Structure 1
Amino acid sequence: MAVRSQSARTGLSPAVAAQVVLGAGFLAHLVVVEVLFAGAGAGKNSVLTVAKFFALHAASIMMLQLVLVARLPWLDRRIGMDRLTVWHRWTGFTLAWTVLTHATLVVLGYAVLYSMPVTATFLSLAGVIASLLGMCAAAIILAMAVASLRYARRRMRYETWHALHIGLYLAVLLALIHQGLEGTTFASSPAARAYWWTVWTLVLLAFLTGRIVLPIWRNAHHRFRVAAVEPESDDVVSVYVTGRHLHRLDARAGQFFIWRFPTHNGWWQANPFSLSAAPDGRTLRLTAKAVGTTSAGLRRLPVGAPAFLEGPYGAFTALHRTREATLLIAGGVGITPIRAMLEESTGPAVVLYRVHSMDDAVLLRELQWLAGERGAQLHVLAGRTGSGNPPFAPFEPANLRGLVPDIADRDVYVCGPPAMTDAVLRSLRELGVPRGQVHAERFSLA
């Protein structure tokens, strides 16, 4: 098995560099917007002037929203889809408030301008096609913001929420038509108009390339198919996928794909699974626990069945290493990317594998073999938290330091259930492990 050469990073971290590029680009765009607005942003009265100000910034936030979920490889490998998705979520709430403010000011502004009641003004604007399209876009954005609130989101199936979320693409289309019909602050200047629509074109191209063009091209080029299906236990299965020219697929240990098996559960069913083995240029492997109908049915996949893969995604890789030595911490099925990273590891490594019982230790034999091959230490931490006397608490600061005395001199990679991950991160802070040496992968993308 070939092991990819890796070394500790020096200088500015890839994550910080990507954040600087993304933030600087967005701020530079806002500066241009502010300058152009100052020169040609006056509305028919002061209220409508402020409404135009919020309209331009709502459109700019919408551009940022699309970039954050465009799944551009350069950004994703450095920042990670989980973090980009969190930013997308909070930017979405900012967009909703900005759109609501713009719409409210438009109605109030025209009510003042024509000395009409607010309700009559609203109905009058709804009779204008450009305004009506803007209202529809705003309604979709606000409805999606409400559906994304934690209270509502936790009571909704992921598939339902995802289907509703696709409605935002309709909102973007309606908003673009609304801007074109209404005219923008930039309508008075050919150069400004060219700038505005050039930025929109680049944003849409980036989104379409990352979300549609790249996945279609990769699948047409590699022709993924199921090579083998191997049960690991009563409720865990590994699926091997092969294809053409996989050595050209720039995937790394620790990353994940969004997997579709159309003959298994329909085209619309897609699940993110981490690679459970380091890519070797011949096969890709996922290992899944039966927690739903999709993953439970994977063991019935026939060899040769087609697979559609989106990815690779994720920043949970050795690209972000700052030290030669690593500590790999996994909980439950979070062992899959950790196992792949151990396979790719070349420096001193310690693996902590948290499970409720030894029967739950998936891929344990492989881990033991890899640990022997790599000269790594493997500790399986089995038991119920709080059980026994003294209480079993393997991730308390003192216990972590006892297991890994030089923990502050290692890069720490953590992947597991949210409660475990949070507990580990708290202990790492107490132990003084520098933030730049801590890398955490979250299970959920939404």
Structure 2
Amino acid sequence: MTINGVGPTTTRPGGPRAHLVLWTCLAANVLIVESLFFLGPSGKNELLSIARFVGLHAALLTMLQLVLVARIPYLDRRLGMDRLTLWHRWNGFGLLWLVVTHGLLVVLGYAALDGAPAARTLMALAGVPASLLGMLATAVIVLVAVTSVRWMRKRLPYELWHAVHILLYVALVLALLHQALETTTLAGPLPGAYWWAMWVAVGTALVYGRVVVPLWRNLRHGFRVAAVVPEAGNAVSVYVTGRRLDRLPARAGQFAIWRFFEHNFWWTANPFSLSAMPDGRTLRLTAKAVGRTSAGLRQLPVGTRVFIEGPYGAFTGAAKVRRDTLLVAGGVGITPVRALLEELGGSVTVLYRVRSEAEASLLGEVRNLARSRGARLHLLAGPTAPPISAALIANLVPDVAGRDVFVCGPPGMNMLVLKALRQLGVPRSQVHWERFGLG
């Protein structure tokens, strides 16, 4: 299964505190930068002053953009990579408008200063190294934003979209060079030192979370495919082993980003949930054949080298605030739910919605786990099965308001379940959900 955005009804362990830390740090830096801006020298005219003000805020949003995808353990465990990815997406569109606005104001400001047409001023600025670097960075950001629009994103192969997205690092380098050459970014030694110290801190967090930690974990554990097992519903389970897996910080309900070196190119990666509770000896993912990567997992040779980023995610038992639990799964969303069923204590009820019993992946395992752990399983299979509604949940789980509820499935099912839980008065702090689609 893959991960995406989290809605307003979701809470995470330590989430409120992590919210406070993240947004307080952002607000404090915005306040400091704005103070340094207003205490510094003004621009050559009003438009250029406004352009510099907008540019500084565009740079601050860029820093936030990098922090959101730096995979900082503190934020990931408390907010979840899915929520951080969603914020990254919306922050990206805000960054786009600020960057474009900054560029337009610079052109108009110099055009007014020189008394020249905007088009001629634009061509003249293209001959200035600092301005040219800024233009190139803007062009890359616009390209990435266009490919991230939902209509376009659905029509692009994941691999192509990911490759285009990587160009943002090119834009970042161009933007940093632009700022280094543009001496009016923050004038003065102390403001300049503060500005570049922020960039160093953000860059360090990014390199640590995205490069150092994954490389260290893979060198330490030496992940390889141990077995490949076909499952019902056109799914397949891949068992991965390695050294000292008991020291890998993995929990039931989490996911990892997987690369199989002898199956795809090294840059081809896909997020899949752990479909069994980590036991310190093996990790297991279960994927449905919906794309080239997941469909080809059936042909993975045993011994294939695996590169793993993660595990990530806050869809774990650490989010619980009540003793008892309701687990709701739809389709291949059963994968993290099955892992949670293996770990959670207390009274557990499982609602499993599938198109047909024959397509119910891991159903045998879920039944056996439910039987051995004294959990109740309700299989809602086929077109005649009633939709998941407030009435259905109240009938099957009368004490739902006193339980934590974990929901994982297609977006349509998720929305129905969340609406039903609101109608039943289940507190927000007890509702935890994820949905398909990274990006």
> Which interval holds the TM-score relative to the shorter structure?
over 0.9
Q: Which structure 2 segments of 5+ residues have no match? A: 1-10
Q: 2:389 aligns with which of 387, 390, 396?
A: 396
Does the 8 Å CA contact 1:58/1:95 hold for their aligned counterparts? Answer: yes
Q: Which residue of 2 aligns with 1:179?
A: 179
1:405 matched to 2:398: yes
| Aligned-partner residue type, residue 378 of structure 1 | L
Matches within 5 A, 1:34-113: 34-113=34-113
1:99-154, Cα deviation, whole Å (9 max, x unpaired) = 11111111111111111111111111111011000011011112221221122222
Q: Which amino acid aligns with 1:293?
A: R
Return the TM-score normalized by structure 2: 0.95
Q: Is the 8 Å Cα contact of residues 233 and 360 (structure 2) preserved in structure 1?
A: no
Gaps of 5+ in 1: 1-10
Give secondary structure in 2 for the equivalent of 1:264: coil
**1:293: Cα distance to partner?**
2.3
For residues 146 and 87 of structure 2, the distance between their equivalents in structure 1, rounded to whole angstroms, comes to 17
Higher relative CO (Cα under 8 Å, sequence separation at least 6) belongs to 2
The range that moved more, 106-115 or 178-187, is 178-187
Deviation at 1:234, TM superposition (A): 6.9
Q: Within 2, Cα distance between the matches of 1:334 and 1:354?
A: 9
For residues 149 and 304 of structure 1, what CA distance do their matches in structure 2 show?
Answer: 39
**Alpha-carbon contact 2:12-2:319 (below 8 Å) kept:** no
* 8 A contact 1:100–1:138 mirrored in 2: yes
**Residue deviations 1:233-278 (CA, integer Å, cap 9, x gap):** 3722211111111111000000001111111122122111100100
Kept in 1, the 8 Å contact 2:99–2:138? The answer is: yes
Give the Cα separation in 2 of the matches to 1:335 and 1:350. Answer: 13
Q: Which amino acid aligns with 2:205?
A: A
Name 2:242's counterpart in structure 1: 243
Query: Structure 1-normalised TM-score?
Result: 0.94
Are the equivalent residues in 1 in contact too, given 2:12–2:79 (CA < 8 A)? Answer: no
Distance 1:291 1:106 in 2: 47
AA matched with 1:441: E
Aligned to 2:4: none
CA–CA distance in 2 between the matches of 1:20 and 1:324?
27
**RMSD after superposition:** 1.4
Rounded to whole Å, the distance in 2 between the matches of 1:266 and 1:61 is: 32
Residue of structure 1 aligned with 2:417, choices 397, 403, 424: 424
Task: Call closer, same or farther: CA 1:420–1:86 in 2, change over 3 Å.
Answer: same
- The answer to whether residue 429 in structure 2 is matched with residue 436 in structure 1 is yes
Shift of 1:13: 4.5
Which residue identity is paired with 1:121?
Answer: T
- In 1, Cα distance between equivalents of 2:375 and 2:19: 33
- Paired residue type of 1:25: C
Sequence identity of aligned pairs in percent?
60
Change (3 A) 1:174 1:407: same
Deviations 1:342-380 (A, max 9, x none): 101111111111111111121122111211222111111
The offset of 1:41, in angstroms, is 4.7
SS at 2:155's partner residue? coil
User: CA separation in 1, counterparts of 2:94 and 2:165?
Assistant: 16
Paired residue for 1:8?
none
In the TM superposition, what is the alpha-carbon distance from 1:407 to its structure 2 partner?
Answer: 0.8
| Alpha-carbon shift at residue 92 of structure 1 (Å) | 0.5
Instruction: After TM superposition, give the deviation of residue 292 of structure 1 in Å.
Output: 2.1
Between the aligned partners of 2:101 and 2:335, the Cα distance in structure 1 is 46
Shift in Å at residue 232 of structure 1? 2.2
| Counterpart residue number, 2:31 | 31
Structure 1's consecutive aligned runs of 4 or more residues displaced over 6 angstroms after TM superposition are: none
Alignment CA distance shift 1:192-1:234 (3 Å): closer
Q: How far 1:64 sits from its partner (Å)?
A: 0.2
1:433 and 1:228 map into 2 onto residues whose CA distance is 41
Bigger drift between 409-418 and 230-239 goes to 230-239
Could you tell me whether the CA contact under 8 Å between 2:13 and 2:314 is conserved in 1? no
The 3 A distance-change label for structure 1 pair 12 and 68 is closer
Match of 2:304 in 1: 305
